[in-house]
Amino acid sequence: MPRRPVNSEINVDADDIDAIYDFLEEVTTTGSVDIGETLQDKGELAIKTLNKIFSWTERNEQHIGAIVYYIVHEEDPDSNLKENLSFGGKTIADLNEQWQEGYARGDEYPLFALPFYLQENKGLYEQDTEGGLKTSVKNLLNLLSNIKDMPVLLKQLLKVHDEIRKIMGKEVNFAMRPMTIDNYEEVIEKIYTNHDVDLAHLEVENIVQEVDSFSNIAKSYGITEEIVYQVKSEFR
């Protein structure tokens, strides 16, 4: 896995971790998103914490900006909030475009690296028993692990890959299967027929729910990025 530029000191407190938790809870809880200044404020606080953890300020802004852009676009494709909401002096429309370009290049982004980072440093955070940092990290890890479908992240990734495929002249696959055993089996059969790779039910489920770059997911399961795309695109 590529080396992630992280700040080595434990320089965040419970309020910092809670800021990421609040933003992610907002954007991954159906029907709760307050689009506008509230979401922008939560995004700005999340970016401040990510800047303390990962030393890639522009990508932190791009990732949060792209997520906010997605929410605004889903609500109203013609919304002027795309040009009115901004992070780091850049509109969410610009940040979304930069994020898509960066993701297509294979750049890593903070919310994909965050679960790995927290797990790797869990022992250090747990040493703080007075300031509430241990509890905040536990809550954030629970949120990340219990979210079965992070639609903002997953759908945005698929849209980027759809656009890349169109540019490359490849067929775009679009299906909205429910996540059931019968559908898993149909997809398993499809992948085996087309790619001669035999996946298990649990592997299909995990690939669909995995929030990471397609290249990293492919490496984790010993498959190609094409198979990752085909599996994920069956369960939009």
Query: Which stretches does DSSP call E strand in 38-141?
Result: 86-87, 90-91
pTM (2 d.p.): 0.66
Amino acid (1-letter code) at residue 232: K
pLDDT in the model for residue 65: 93
Q: What pLDDT is recorded for position 30?
A: 46
**Domain residue limits, the chain:** 14-146, 173-232
What's the pLDDT at 149? 47
Distances (CA, A) of 11 to 14, 58, 77, 124, 134: 10, 20, 39, 11, 13
- The pLDDT assigned to 116 comes to 77
Residue 152 pLDDT: 54
SS3 6: strand
- How high is the pLDDT of residue 33? 54
pLDDT at position 44: 96
Predicted pLDDT of residue 142: 81
Q: In the prediction, which pLDDT does 181 show?
A: 87
Token pair recorded at residue 137: 């990290």
Q: What is the pLDDT at residue 173?
A: 78
DSSP 76: -
99: number of Cβ within 10 Å: 26
Q: What is the pLDDT of residue 83?
A: 92
Distance of CA 95 to the CA centre of its chain: 15
Mean pLDDT by 10 residues, the chain (236 residues): 47 91 78 68 95 90 90 82 93 92 80 80 74 86 66 61 75 75 90 94 88 80 91 82
